[in-house]
């Protein structure tokens, strides 16, 4: 599992005093950086080096988050296919799960415009961070 602690900024708060729903996409993306580094260690975004493309994201908003408290982002691998993998994300504040989400990423060759199998050490490291869906924290959390 990968963990990232985020301190909400004043600009992250909406007119109702909550962390705005659009902020979670940014926080979850930041939390994916250690996973991105498995494929492109220097995070070089050039077409020659970058090897991933996002094909799906989803979010479930379960509770409110506010300005006055750090948010812990937990990320893990839910599934590994031949050319794609699914990342699970959770946002916790004050011991409560408030947002959960998923992102599907494809290992991609931009030059040849095709998906590429996930092999070797990268697959092994992804597997080390895999949590079966039955063991996911939010499956047991009260909503």
Domains and CATH numbers, the chain: 2-132 (3.10.129.10)
CB-based contact 69:44 (threshold 8 Å) = no
Per-residue pLDDT of 49-70, as tens digits, reads 899 999 999 999 999 999 989 9
CA distance 88 to 30: 13
Whole-number pLDDT of residue 45: 85
Looking at the predicted structure, is the pLDDT value of residue 143 above 50? no
Taking 3-state DSSP, the helix, strand and coil percentages for the chain, each rounded to the nearest 5, stand at 25, 40, 35
């Amino acid at each position: 599992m990968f963990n990232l602690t985020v301190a909400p900024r004043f600009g992250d708060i909406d007119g109702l005093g909550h962390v705005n729903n659009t902020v979670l996409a940014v926080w979850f993306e930041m939390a994916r950086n250690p996973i991105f580094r498995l494929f492109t260690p220097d995070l070089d975004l050039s077409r020659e080096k970058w090897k991933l493309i996002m094909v799906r994201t989803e979010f479930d908003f379960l509770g409110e988050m506010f300005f006055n408290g750090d948010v812990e982002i937990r990320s893990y691998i839910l599934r590994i296919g031949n050319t794609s993998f699914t990342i699970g994300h959770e946002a916790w504040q004050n011991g409560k799960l408030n947002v959960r989400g998923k992102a599907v990423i494809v290992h991609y060759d931009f030059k040849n415009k095709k998906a590429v199998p996930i092999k070797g050490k990268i697959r092994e490291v992804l597997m080390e961070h895999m949590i079966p869906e039955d063991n996911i924290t939010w499956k047991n959390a009260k909503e």
